[in-house]
Amino acid sequence: MKNFYLYSAVSTALIFMSASAQAIDSTGCGLGSMAWRGQSGPVPQVLAVTTNGLTGSQTFGITFGTSGCDPNGRITGGTQKMVFNFIENNMEQYALDAARGEGETLDTLAGMLNVDKNVFAAKSQQNFASIFPNSDVDAIYVTQQIFAMIKA
Amino acid sequence: MSKFIFLIVCFFVPFHVTAHESMAESQEWLSLVHYHPNFLGRYKGSIDSESFYLAKDGRINPKAELEATIKLFVDGSDKQKMCLFPARYIFLLNNGLIEKTNVKCEEFEKFKEDLQPSGITMIFTDAYMNNPSSLFGHTLLRIDTSRQGTQMIAHGANYGAYYNDENGFLYAVYGLTGGYFGGWTIKPYYNIINTYNNIENRDIWELNLNFTKEEQDLFIAHLWELGHTQTRYYFFTKNCSYMLVEAFDAIRPSLKLADQFWLQTIPLDTLKAVYRKKNLVKNVNYRPSRQTKIIYQKQQMNAKQQKALLSIIKDENYTQLTELSNEEKTIVLETAYQYIQYRFIKKEFSLSEYRKKSFSLLSARNKLPSNKENNMEKIRGHSPLLSHESMRATIGVGSRNGENFQEFSYRPAYHSLTDNNYGLLPGAEINFLNFKIRHYDQSQKTVLSEFDLLDIRSLSPIDNLFYPISFAVSLNVSRETHPQTQKEGYVGNGKVSGGGTIEVIPHVYSYIMGSGYGSYGGFLPHNQYVGIGLSGGIFIDYKYFKLLAEVEKQIGSNWYADKTKYHIEANIPILRNLGMAVEYRYDNNQQGKNVEEYLTSLRYYF
C-alpha cells in the first residue's frame, strides 16, 4: 500500500512535470516567452505570429528555440550557456556561416567568446568538417567543438 | 526661532501642494501613467490592470495617483510595490518630490543586467498575407545591447494579445471587440529574426531611435512597469503599435505620438509617425527575409548558375557546377542551402532528408574559399517609409448606361492593386471599409453606390522555385440595377477565390482564379443566389503605370447571377500620394439589360 502511494505520488509528479515542461516548450523562446514573473493565464502569444515553432530537436536542423531557453525569455547565464542557447537557436545559420567563413552568427559568437572575429571566422571555416562531422550532430556537440576550437 | 520655523512650514506646505498640483497635470506625469483626456477634458489611464494604479481612483485622478506614488516611496516600507515602479521613482527623484531610497530591486537589476541596454530600436515586420491579423504588418521593439558581438543577442520586446486556439471567426470577433488581453513579452532578438525573416519570410525594418542615456534608462524602467500589466487588446486601435507609441510618449512626452492614433492604429502609420518626428530616428536598417534573399540571389545569377541551382535542388545533381567559377559556385550553393531551409519549413521534406541535403550542400560550399563579394547587404529593399499614406479619398466623374454621375469615395485603409505599391507587398491588396457615394445627374439622386467591408487579394507569381496560391476574399454591399425591371436596390455580396499567377514578362502578370460567391438582398429574385465563377486577368505593374484587366464568367443558382463581367482599371501614380485613374466596367447579363460604366477619378492618399 505504501508503495502504491509512492508510485502514484511519483507518477503524479512526473505528469505534472511533463505538463509544465510542455508549457515551456510551447512558449519557448520561439513564441513569446514570459518576460515577467507572476503572469498567469493562457500562454502569451502574439496575434501577428501564427507559425508555431517547429518541434524541438537538438540535432542539426532548424530548432528556433525549444529546450535550453531561459523561461524569462532572456539571454542570461555564463558564456557557455549563452553560446549553447545561441547555437541551439541558430544552428542552421551558423552552419552556413561556418562553411563559407563569414556571416552575422560568426561575428556574434566571436563577441560572446571574446575572440577576434576574423580569426574566429577563419577557424570556423577551416574546422567546419570537425564541428559538423555528419548530418546528425547536435547543439551540445557543436558547442563543445567551438570551445575546443578557440582553445586550440 | 520657533516662529521662524512655523513661518517656513507655513510657507512651505502650500508651496508643496501647488507643486503636486502642477506636477500632476504635467505632460511628464500624464504620459508616464498613460493618461488621456476624454472629450470632457477628464483624464483616464489607458492601462487596464488595476495593479498599475496606486490610488483607489488613480485611473481617473492623476493628482491622487501622484500623491499615492509619493507616499509609497516616502513611506518606503512596501519594497515589492516600489520595485514595480522604477520609472515613477526616477520621475519623482528628478522632480525633487522624493529623496533617494536605499531599496534594492534585485529582479529589476537582473533584468537590466541580462539586457545590458545601449539603445532602442523600433522594428517593423512586413505584411503577411497568410494571416488576417498580420495583413498590416507588425511592430515591436528591440532593446539594443552593449554586449560584445552583434544585435542578434539584443532582446526583442513585443506587445501582443494572449489568445487561445480560437477558430478564425471567434478570433476575429475577439480581436475586434477587445475579447483578448494584451501584454508584453521579451525574447532574444535572434528568435525574432528567426520567426519573421526565416519562418514567415517577412522583411524586417529597423529604426534606431535617438534616445539619450537618461531616456533609455527611463524606458527600460517603464518597460518593467508595463511588463507587469495587461490591457484589453483591440485589433484596430489599442494594438501592438499603439502601446509602443504610448511607451515612447511616456519617456519623451513632447512626441505626443499616441494622440495621432485615436481613430485607427495601422502599424506602418506608427512607423511613419516615428520616422517623421524630429531627432528621433538615427538610422534605418533593412533585414531581408529568407525568401527575399533567395529571389535576389537568383536574379543576380547568370543562365548557367540558374541551371546549376535548379538541377541541384530538383535532382541533387551537382555536375552542372563544374562549368562555373568558384565565386559563381558559392552563390549557387548558398542559395540552394537557403532554399532547402525554406522548403523544410514548408514541411516539404522529412527531417532526415532535409539534413542530408543541407549537409551535402554545406560540405560542398566549405571546399570553396570565402566570397566577400557575395554580400547580402547589397539588397536594398523598398522602404515602407516611402509608401503612400493609408487613407484614400477619390473624386471622379463617370457615366452609367449613359447617365452621368459624380463620385466620391473614402477608404480608411490600406492599398489597392492599382495604387502605387512602392514599399508595400507587391501584388497584394487590402481594402477596408471603402465606400462610394454617387450623385446621378438625370435622376437627381445621391446614393451610396458601394460599401466594401473588406477586400483582400494576393497575386503572387509562381516560378520554378516558389508555388504560392493566389487568392481573394471580399465582402461588400453594392447598389445594383435589376436587369429586367430596371429597379435599383442593395445587394450584399460575399466571394472567395483561389488560383494561380505567373509573371509573363517582367512587371506583367497573368492570373486565373476560380471562385464561389453568394449574394443576398430583398430586391433579388428569391432574395438570394449562390454561384461559381471563373476569372482570368492581367496585372501590369510598372512604376508609373498600373493596369488591371479582368474577365469573369459567373454561373449562379438563378438567372440574375448568370453574367459575364469585364473590368479594366488603370492608374498613373503621379506623385507618392496622388494618382489619376480610369475605370471601365461592362456586365453582360444573360437576360435583360447590360450595365456599362465609365469612370475617371483622382486618387489622393493622406
Residue B155: all three cell numbers together? 532582446
Task: Quickly tell me which residue has 539603445 as its cell.
Answer: B119
The DSSP result for B189-254, as a single string, is HHHHHIIIIIIS---EEEEEE---HHHHHHHHHHHHHHHT--EEE-SSSSSHHHHHHHHHHHH-GG
A4 part of a folded domain: yes
Strands B578-589 vs B204-209: parallel, antiparallel or unpaired: unpaired
Which of B162, B163, B187 minimises the CB distance to A73? B187
Q: Is the model's pLDDT at A137 over the cut of 70?
A: yes
Residue A110 Cα, gap to closest chain B Cα (Å)? 6
The pLDDT score that the predictor gives to residue B351 is 86
Q: With CB atoms and an 8 Å threshold, state whether A48 touches B194.
A: no
Q: Is the model's pLDDT at B288 over the cut of 70?
A: yes
**Chain B residues within 8 A of A50 when measuring between CB atoms:** 128, 130-131, 133-134, 200
- On whether both B38 and B90 belong to a single domain, the answer is yes
- Expressed as residue numbers, the domain containing B279 is 110-287
Going by C-alpha positions, the residue among B358, B527, B40, B583 that lies closest to residue A62 is: B358
- Name the amino acid, one letter, at B190: Y
**Chain A residues within 8 A of B163 when measuring between CB atoms:** 42, 45, 47
A64 part of a folded domain: yes
- Rounded mean pLDDT, B253-275: 94
* Of the listed ranges B119-123, B141-145, B448-452, B592-596, the one predicted with least confidence: B592-596
Strand partners, B399: B404, B598
For chain A, what is the largest distance between any 2 Cα atoms, rounded to a whole number of angstroms? 66
The pLDDT score that the predictor gives to residue A74 is 86
- On whether both B469 and B559 belong to a single domain, the answer is yes
A6 part of a folded domain: yes
Cα separation, B350 vs B344, in Å, equals 8
The count of C-alpha atoms lying within 13 angstroms of the C-alpha of B355, restricted to the half-sphere facing its C-beta, is: 18
- Which of B83, B105, B163, B195 is the mutation pick for testing A, counting most A CBs within 10 A? B195
Please state the domain count of chain B. Answer: 4
Higher pLDDT, B43 or A20: B43
Q: With CB atoms and an 8 Å threshold, state whether B194 touches A107.
A: no
The pLDDT score that the predictor gives to residue A34 is 34
**Pairs of residues, one from chain A and one from chain B, whose beta carbons lie less than 8 Å apart:** 204
- On whether both B69 and B28 belong to a single domain, the answer is yes
Residue B139 Cα, gap to closest chain A Cα (Å)? 9
Specify whether the CB–CB gap between B516 and B493 falls below 8 A.
no
- Name the amino acid, one letter, at B596: E
Q: What is the mean pLDDT of chain B?
A: 92
- On whether both B39 and B51 belong to a single domain, the answer is yes
Answer whether A104 touches B (CB < 8 Å).
yes
Please state the domain count of chain A. Answer: 1
**Predicted confidence band at B251 (pLDDT cuts at 50, 70, 90)?**
very high
Going by C-alpha positions, the residue among B86, B192, B211, B203 that lies closest to residue B142 is: B192
The pLDDT score that the predictor gives to residue B176 is 83
Higher pLDDT, B135 or B443: B443
Contacts of B355-361 spanning 24+ positions with Cβ under 8 A: B355/A59, B355/A60, B355/A61, B355/A135, B355/A136, B356/A135, B357/B316, B358/A60, B358/A61, B358/A92, B358/A95, B358/A135, B359/A60, B359/A132, B359/A134, B359/A135, B360/B316, B361/B312, B361/B333, B361/B336, B361/B337
A44 part of a folded domain: no
Task: List the single residue in A with minimal CA-CA distance to B150.
Answer: A108
- On whether both B70 and B199 belong to a single domain, the answer is no
- Rounded mean pLDDT, B455-484: 92
- On whether both B514 and B525 belong to a single domain, the answer is yes
The pLDDT score that the predictor gives to residue A52 is 29
- Which of A29, A36, A50, A128 is the mutation pick for testing B, counting most B CBs within 10 A? A36
**Predicted confidence band at B387 (pLDDT cuts at 50, 70, 90)?**
very high
Task: Quickly tell me which residue has 438563378 as its cell.
Answer: B558
* Of the listed ranges A112-116, B232-236, B250-254, the one predicted with least confidence: B232-236
Q: Show which of residues 32-71 on chain A sit within 8 Å of chain B, judged by CB atoms.
A: 32-39, 41-51, 53-54, 57, 59-62, 64-65
Q: With CB atoms and an 8 Å threshold, state whether B355 touches A60.
A: yes
**Chain A residues within 8 A of B359 when measuring between CB atoms:** 60, 132, 134-135
User: Is B534 buried (19+), middle (13-18) or exposed (0-12) by CB count in 10 A?
Assistant: middle
A104 part of a folded domain: yes
- Rounded mean pLDDT, B6-16: 43
The pLDDT score that the predictor gives to residue A67 is 38
Higher pLDDT, B604 or B379: B604
Task: List the single residue in B with minimal CA-CA distance to A114.
Answer: B148
- Expressed as residue numbers, the domain containing A132 is 1-35+49-152
Question: For chain A, how many helices (H) and strands (E)?
Answer: 6, 0
3-state SS track over B15-30: HHHHHHHHHHCCHHHH
- On whether both B470 and B571 belong to a single domain, the answer is yes
Residue B144: all three cell numbers together? 539594443
Q: With CB atoms and an 8 Å threshold, state whether B160 touches A31.
A: no
A41 part of a folded domain: no
The pLDDT score that the predictor gives to residue A23 is 27
The pLDDT score that the predictor gives to residue A128 is 97
How far is C-alpha A77 from the geometric centre of its chain's CA atoms?
13
The pLDDT score that the predictor gives to residue A71 is 63
Task: List the single residue in A with minimal CA-CA distance to B114.
Answer: A76
The pLDDT score that the predictor gives to residue A28 is 32
**Chain A residues within 8 A of B188 when measuring between CB atoms:** 29, 65, 73-75, 85, 89
Q: Is the model's pLDDT at A21 over the cut of 60?
A: no
Cα separation, B340 vs B362, in Å, equals 11
Distances in whole angstroms, Cα of residue B147 to Cα of each of B116, B144, B153, B214, B306: 7, 9, 8, 19, 40
The pLDDT score that the predictor gives to residue B374 is 61
Do you know the residue count of chain A? 152
Q: Is the model's pLDDT at B395 over the cut of 70?
A: yes
Task: Quickly tell me which residue has 507518477 as its cell.
Answer: A11
- On whether both B173 and B259 belong to a single domain, the answer is yes
CATH number at residue B422: 2.40.160.40
Distances in whole angstroms, Cα of residue B233 to Cα of each of A36, B141, B266, B300: 19, 18, 14, 44
Q: Is the model's pLDDT at A90 over the cut of 60?
A: yes
Cα separation, B422 vs B541, in Å, equals 11
A13 part of a folded domain: yes
For chain B, what is the largest distance between any 2 Cα atoms, rounded to a whole number of angstroms? 106
Query: Among the three residues B259, B287, B315, which one is the final residue of a domain in this structure?
Result: B287
**Predicted confidence band at B127 (pLDDT cuts at 50, 70, 90)?**
confident
**Chain B residues within 8 A of A121 when measuring between CB atoms:** 370
Going by C-alpha positions, the residue among B491, B470, B415 that lies closest to residue B127 is: B415
- On whether both B460 and B598 belong to a single domain, the answer is yes
Answer whether A120 touches B (CB < 8 Å).
no
Specify whether the CB–CB gap between A43 and A20 falls below 8 A.
no
- On whether both B565 and B478 belong to a single domain, the answer is yes
Query: Among the three residues B236, B267, B287, which one is the final residue of a domain in this structure?
Result: B287
Sheet holding B155-162, edge to edge: B231-233, B180-188, B155-162, B138-145, B117-125, B204-209, B281-287
- On whether both B133 and B186 belong to a single domain, the answer is yes
**Chain A residues within 8 A of B153 when measuring between CB atoms:** 75, 82, 86, 108, 111-112
**Predicted confidence band at B284 (pLDDT cuts at 50, 70, 90)?**
very high
- Using alpha carbons only, what angle is made at residue B64 by residues B58 and B70, rounded to the nearest 5 degrees? 105
- On whether both B283 and B294 belong to a single domain, the answer is no
B555-577 residue pLDDT tens: 999 888 899 999 999 999 999 99
The pLDDT score that the predictor gives to residue B94 is 95
**Predicted confidence band at B319 (pLDDT cuts at 50, 70, 90)?**
very high
Q: Is the model's pLDDT at B8 over the cut of 70?
A: no
A40 part of a folded domain: no
Helix (H) or strand (E) holding B327: helix B326-345
* Of the listed ranges A102-106, B158-162, B339-343, the one predicted with least confidence: B158-162
Which of A42, A62, A73 minimises the CB distance to B345? A62
Q: For a pLDDT cut of 70, what percent of chain B falls above it?
A: 95
Q: Is the model's pLDDT at B512 over the cut of 90?
A: yes
Task: List the single residue in A with minimal CA-CA distance to B233.
Answer: A47
Q: With CB atoms and an 8 Å threshold, state whether A30 touches B175.
A: no
B415-449 residue pLDDT tens: 999 999 999 998 999 999 999 999 999 999 999 99
Query: Among the three residues B268, B287, B306, which one is the final residue of a domain in this structure?
Result: B287
**Predicted confidence band at A27 (pLDDT cuts at 50, 70, 90)?**
very low
Specify whether the CB–CB gap between B244 and B141 falls below 8 A.
yes
- Rounded mean pLDDT, B269-283: 96
Answer whether A23 touches B (CB < 8 Å).
no
